[in-house]
Structure 1
Amino acid sequence: MLQMNDKKLYNDWAAKTSDSVMKRRPEINTKWEYEDGVVLQGMELVFNKTGDKKYLEYMMKSMDLFVDENGNIPKYSSNEFNIDHINNGKVLLALYEHTEDERYKKAADLLRSQLTNHPRTSEGAFWHKEIYPYQIWLDGLYMGSVFYARYIKEFGEEAEFEDVMKQFTLSYKHTRDEETGLLHHAWDEKREQPWCDKETGLSKHYWARSIGWYVMAIVDVLDYIPESYEGRDVLLNMLEETVEAMMNYQDKETGVWYQIVNQQERKGNYLESSGSAMMLYAIAKGVRKNYLSQDWFEKAEHIYKGIIDEFILTTKDGLVNVNKICQVAGLGGKDKRDGSFAYYISEPIVTNDHKGVGPFILASAEMEMLYEERK
């Protein structure tokens, strides 16, 4: 085990960061946004860990801004066929489990019905969005497939897990680089998008957060796939191969990752917090659940220390700031994002965006649980 100040590392960061969110945002949002679901999933872990109902109550209050008395979600439109809009469904399923309020189940049913009709590639992978046709983005595995698996476990049939598995096997097959083991951000089946290689259909770069979404999706889906299920080993292999590949590009001094994973020395590249926190979450949960060997614990502590040293500050009011978050990165669309290195480093670098705050809560909660189990 690393010799370090455990009090700095294991300092209730998950709860403190959740408390900071609640103080800053008494109402989480006016829009149905996937990143808020990531924060609320972190709070679910904090609630499960502490038993403090204020976290559950905030989850309820946040979803009740969107779910009406009949279980409808007026600010959500299924016919946009946007896989990002599915992510908050995990929070709805958690609330149904904790409260048995049928509104949350009905709202989750609406999201599940989108997946039934969602457009797919010729092999059966969900398009990222209808406005991004024939495209697999790594982000989408976290947004859609984890909810899908959790819903199947609660209300579906085991045979449906085959479709969840298909999402992972197809995305892995099409985005993985054999030489490095890294995953490209996206793939265009039609090879038509301006951002893709016209021979392979692949986007140009390995974006840390997109790979982070992918490995988080794997460790979360494994919660719901039965241990006896034949495809589990495939997911476990994907997890191990991907985190091992990412370790080859880790910044050795800090333990965290650059925005563009494999171009550390390139001018303008920077250490980025959301992708680093996602990697830590996947590794810590992987160790705790025995998806990864216990040898990974020391590596996880190194990453955690780096995240806290590089990205986390506490204000004089005691609020936690999560810094150096890439605000957004995508491909194509109305902004004609070209997927170049210049594009990925041009997006704003911000503080306390929920795409970074949520993964930090999740990663901290997992590290705290892992530490307690090992004491």
Structure 2
Amino acid sequence: MKFNKLKILTIAALASGLFFCCAQQPKQNNHQVSKIVRQTISTKLPWSERMMQSEMKRFPEAWMLDFHKSPKWSYPNGLVLKGAEQLFKKTGKREYYDYIKAYADELVNANGTIKTYDINKYNLDMLNSGNVLIYLFLATKDEKYLKGAQLLRSQLNDHPRTSEGGFWHKKIYPNQMWLDGLYMAEPFYASYTRLFNDGAEAEKAYNDIVNQFDVIQKHMVDSKTGLLYHGWDESKEQQWADKQTGLSPNFWGRAMGWYGMAIVDVLDYLPENHPGREKLIGYLKSYSEALLKVQDGKTGLWYQVLDKGNEKGNYLEASASSMFVYTFAKAARKKYLPTSYKTVAKKAYNGILKNLITVEPNGVVNLNKNCAVAGLGGTPYRSGTYDYYVNEEIRSNDPKGTGPFILASLELEK
């Protein structure tokens, strides 16, 4: 692997806008974190900060995000901490940086090994929080963060794939691609490539990243609605898989949310002259057009099962709606989509504030009606039916909702 210090410094300035002016780096300050835990959260702050501070109050240590009882390397943590990173850049408030660093320092050992992470499970979910390590390495130049990121990146070298090169979602889910996996792996893969690879090595990686989206588009887009199914089993052996197409039976909101965020975030790193850029923007346009057709006209929100809003048990779901707001707002700002999508994003965002947000007397903000989790197969077996999706646990303040809400808020606050 080629390690180009000048390139890292240049990209660091573009990617994070953050350089510390002296060798003494910010140290973990438990007093600053605990100060937020005790205080009332001001209603004068923008919603991005109000939600971030609410998360820090609910989860004083970032490893607690997703309601963990002990430290665990997991993807929702990285999702919320991406919001903390952007808030530190925007406000300069050191408690946001401390919150990020404390997570990595709890989970990453001095030699770069990561507690609770097992590379041999080949689980794409484990890669998302690698973005935290890249960010901290750029900020501190501490080699342990680089080694941790290198370890995660090495997973992709031997990760099992479909016949067309698509990453399996996990080793325990053979021959399967899920929309979720595109967000878990590709932004990290693209960011790592831009920072640490050059020449033919980088070109090969970028082509591989674009191919992940190509395989999804080839197999998982519904020709009638333009929506994308949650999962695809190339072997067609799973009980949930259609015997002709291998597709799961429904359009799950958050799965499409992950996919949209994956596209707009990968475009941050894919070179301007790479032919894959136009393809990804084309995929984003058709994806977005399909979502407009199933947006709830009254609230501007989206349903747990996207195309079945009128069916019994379905509900307007917070995490997917937040993800779509982020995707549309960012895509409009970057000019991947027409500016009209910013209006769409604002309508949906106002729908979230009106219908899904509650505020406690101490200022703590709650995001309600998040699907806690949904998947396919496994034990106990998840069938992918309509009844399965609408009967999964619904909870408040799931980080898979609060993280995208913070990111969506930041986009609309720019």
The verdict on a shared fold, with TM-score over 0.5 as the criterion, is yes
Give the match for residue 310 of structure 1.
355
1:270 corresponds, among 315, 331, 342, to: 315
Amino acid at match of 1:135: Q
Q: How does 1:205-284 map to 2 (within 5 A)?
A: 205-284=250-329
Give the match for residue 119 of structure 2.
78
Amino acid at match of 1:43: A
Give the match for residue 153 of structure 1.
194
Between the aligned partners of 2:45 and 2:355, the Cα distance in structure 1 is: 16
Q: Secondary structure at the match of 2:216?
A: helix
* C-alpha deviation, 1:11, in angstroms: 5.5
Contact 2:159 2:167 in 1 (8 A): yes
Q: How does 1:42-57 map to 2 (within 5 A)?
A: 42-57=83-98
Q: Secondary structure at the match of 1:55?
A: helix
Q: Secondary structure at the match of 2:107?
A: coil
Contact 1:10 1:368 in 2 (8 A): no
Q: Deviations over 1:64-84 (max 9, x none)?
A: 110012221132110010100
Q: Secondary structure at the match of 2:336?
A: coil
* C-alpha deviation, 1:325, in angstroms: 0.2
Does 2:108 correspond to 1:108? Answer: no
Q: Secondary structure at the match of 1:187?
A: strand
Give the match for residue 53 of structure 2.
19
* C-alpha deviation, 1:53, in angstroms: 2.0
Between the aligned partners of 2:53 and 2:218, the Cα distance in structure 1 is: 40
Amino acid at match of 2:75: Y
**TM-score in terms of structure 1 length:** 0.94
Does 2:176 correspond to 1:132? Answer: no
Give the match for residue 5 of structure 1.
none
Amino acid at match of 1:289: K
Is the alpha carbon distance of 1:93 and 1:33 closer, same or farther for their aligned partners in structure 2, counting shifts above 3 Å? Answer: same
Does 2:387 correspond to 1:342? Answer: yes
Q: Secondary structure at the match of 1:98?
A: helix
Fraction of identical pairs, as percent: 49
Moved more, 42-51 or 308-317: 42-51
Amino acid at match of 1:103: K
Moved more, 267-276 or 50-59: 50-59
CA RMSD of aligned residues (A): 1.2
Amino acid at match of 1:180: T
Between the aligned partners of 1:38 and 1:297, the Cα distance in structure 2 is: 22
Instruction: Please tell me whether Structure 1 or Structure 2 has the larger radius of gyration of its CA atoms.
Output: 2
Q: Which runs of structure 1 show a deviation greater than 2 angstroms over 4 or more consecutive aligned residues?
A: none
* C-alpha deviation, 1:28, in angstroms: 2.1
Give the match for residue 180 of structure 1.
225
Between the aligned partners of 1:10 and 1:154, the Cα distance in structure 2 is: 38
Amino acid at match of 1:102: E
Give the match for residue 87 of structure 1.
128
Between the aligned partners of 1:63 and 1:284, the Cα distance in structure 2 is: 29
Contact 1:205 1:340 in 2 (8 A): yes
Between the aligned partners of 1:300 and 1:75, the Cα distance in structure 2 is: 37
Between the aligned partners of 1:269 and 1:62, the Cα distance in structure 2 is: 36
* C-alpha deviation, 1:304, in angstroms: 0.8
Give the match for residue 68 of structure 2.
none
Between the aligned partners of 2:285 and 2:87, the Cα distance in structure 1 is: 26
Contact 2:193 2:206 in 1 (8 A): yes
Looking at both structures, which has the greater relative contact order when contacts are Cα pairs under 8 Å and sequence separation is at least 6? 1
Contact 1:80 1:130 in 2 (8 A): yes
Residues matched between the structures, number: 361
Give the match for residue 299 of structure 1.
344
Between the aligned partners of 1:209 and 1:345, the Cα distance in structure 2 is: 13
* C-alpha deviation, 1:310, in angstroms: 1.2
Moved more, 249-258 or 21-30: 21-30
* C-alpha deviation, 1:249, in angstroms: 0.2
Q: Secondary structure at the match of 2:77?
A: helix
**TM-score in terms of structure 2 length:** 0.86
Between the aligned partners of 2:44 and 2:355, the Cα distance in structure 1 is: 16
* C-alpha deviation, 1:27, in angstroms: 1.5
Q: Secondary structure at the match of 1:180?
A: coil
Between the aligned partners of 1:332 and 1:102, the Cα distance in structure 2 is: 39
Does 2:398 correspond to 1:359? Answer: no
Give the match for residue 373 of structure 1.
none
Amino acid at match of 2:94: K
Q: Secondary structure at the match of 2:294?
A: coil
1:65 corresponds, among 106, 112, 117, to: 106
* C-alpha deviation, 1:367, in angstroms: 1.0
* C-alpha deviation, 1:246, in angstroms: 0.3
Between the aligned partners of 1:22 and 1:296, the Cα distance in structure 2 is: 31
Q: Deviations over 1:220-264 (max 9, x none)?
A: 000000111111000001111101110100000000000000001
Q: Secondary structure at the match of 1:248?
A: helix
Q: Deviations over 1:39-88 (max 9, x none)?
A: 01111121222222221111000111100122211321100101001110
Give the match for residue 39 of structure 2.
none
Amino acid at match of 2:302: W
* C-alpha deviation, 1:10, in angstroms: 9.8
